[in-house]
Structure 1
């Protein structure tokens, strides 16, 4: 192992070394090729979605503004980890500076917190569109949209800033090899010489509060939506109303299921699930979501084109 140099604080390495996917080093080249193709698809798909929504005046509605923001966050999340992953898998260059490591960690956690906030905003949008259609434009004004977006961003920053701060101020006086393909919180925390439990607990409790409250409000919104839909007399009207929620449900499934699986497998299955499975789950969560989201969004846009004026 290369000798660690020290420049941040006493006992903290200036450089970490990302291993990649432990146990799957022989497949790193194929992973680099696949990852590069997936990342390119994600960039093109999300950029296309943002461009179409921005230039088409008929799509200047809250739902599509939120979809545009979601695409932008997907690009930020993927771009914060994928280029370094490709470098690791292709050339084995896993070196990353202390500051860059925690900056990457901060962007990943903040982006995921923004995404869950956007999913809640989209659920509220669908509630207003279906349950209060006559008041839709009066309730979800441009000023309200801006306020919601700023609140989502501020919440993410306020919740996630302490996470990186707590961990970055611990001493790292032992190994500087991170058994992961990016600076994932738990993987870096295990390298600390001091007790990392406060940071780890904050990660689990903080993410559970943010995600848990959002899921609770999303569930409440959909209970009200379904109640309103099933009170409609026309089956065709019910089908049209439910179709407006299809893309949102798909995005939620892509976001919450692999994300929570990654978090709780790392906490509850660390002694039974192989390490490379932990790493793959975390990697796929950050890569597959930005890649598949545009497909769901395109489906939503096609529905809008065919049934313009449904809301």
Structure 2
């Protein structure tokens, strides 16, 4: 009997969702999606190229920015095949193993991006609250070690998810809510008790992105407290201005993430379209906006980009 069950599970196919009731215009909708992907990939690649080739930018702040660009590129590459497959070729089906692989990479890169945002907040905290010790605390070797630790953390906590999902049978229509696979979406398709996945998924979210967001919030409380206690109003604005780009990145990441998690767990059928649209915003907007925001706010990076394109 178990052999039969394994066969059903392994041969299951999931069906991805584009934009409901707009199938006839999917080829036209693919145009802005392709443009967003192209701009995001070029923008993040330019950021990486400039940081790598300019020795003056080999500082912790820019190294963290390059980590953010790498995770953004990874998320774009992980979602391109299925999102554009739906809108360009109306290819909605995805095999069980391919779906599990995609959700592993998406969730791992999400955890890594959350970790990078935490490291960037730590960088701003040290730069503003303890500037004299900045270079001694954030050495390049220490930055590399912190990055490696957070990569290993992300892989370790997400690695069990595909194996937990593979235990189940999938015997229904298996229509997912997005154009890509997510753990909280796939587990609802199982014809079994998903309590273990629910508990583990919630534990992972709390111990990674939940903890990271709390530490980011605390770092900004300390930053604001320090700035208000030692600086004039003009100096306060100058100091906080260095945090604007990071705050934009934090809000772009966590607001759609929290909204999507709440809709997945507590939403009803009327919120299905909102869930789909929020999923696209969450996946496509941050990688598009990050290079623009950091290029505008960082005069050194902006000047280097201008020199590259003028040449």
> What is the TM-score normalised by the length of structure 2?
0.90
Structure 2 residue ranges without an equivalent (≥5): 304-311
Give the deviation of 1:305 after TM superposition.
Answer: 6.5
What is the distance in 1 between the residues matched to 2:50 and 2:256? 28
Identify if the C-alpha distance between structure 1 residues 305 and 185 changes in structure 2 by more than 3 Å, giving closer, same or farther: closer
Range with bigger deviation, 120-129 or 15-24: 15-24
Q: Which residue, 279, 284, 291 being the options, matches 1:282?
A: 279
Give the deviation of 1:272 after TM superposition.
Answer: 4.2
**Counterpart mapping for 1:92-171 below 5 A:** 92-171=90-169
Which one has a larger percent helix, Structure 1 or Structure 2?
Answer: 2
Instruction: Report if aligned partners of 2:60, 2:138 keep a CA contact under 8 Å in 1.
Output: yes
Instruction: Kindly report the root-mean-square deviation, in angstroms, between the aligned alpha carbons of the 2 structures.
Output: 2.1
Give the deviation of 1:156 after TM superposition.
Answer: 0.8
Identify if the C-alpha distance between structure 1 residues 17 and 279 changes in structure 2 by more than 3 Å, giving closer, same or farther: same
Identify if the C-alpha distance between structure 1 residues 142 and 193 changes in structure 2 by more than 3 Å, giving closer, same or farther: same
Partner residue in 2 for 1:295: 292
Instruction: Report if aligned partners of 1:88, 1:181 keep a CA contact under 8 Å in 2.
Output: yes
Alpha-carbon deviations, 1:53-112, whole Å to 9, x = none? 111111111111011010010010011112321111122112222211111000110111
Instruction: Report if aligned partners of 1:22, 1:179 keep a CA contact under 8 Å in 2.
Output: no
Give the deviation of 1:25 after TM superposition.
Answer: 2.2
Instruction: Report if aligned partners of 1:49, 1:297 keep a CA contact under 8 Å in 2.
Output: no
Give the deviation of 1:8 after TM superposition.
Answer: 9.8
SS of residue matched to 1:257: helix
Instruction: Report if aligned partners of 1:24, 1:276 keep a CA contact under 8 Å in 2.
Output: no
Give the deviation of 1:7 after TM superposition.
Answer: 10
Partner residue in 2 for 1:188: 186
What is the distance in 1 between the residues matched to 2:274 and 2:56? 44
SS of residue matched to 1:89: helix
Instruction: Report if aligned partners of 1:254, 1:289 keep a CA contact under 8 Å in 2.
Output: yes
SS of residue matched to 1:16: strand
Partner residue in 1 for 2:57: 59
Structure 1 residue ranges without an equivalent (≥5): 1-5, 307-311
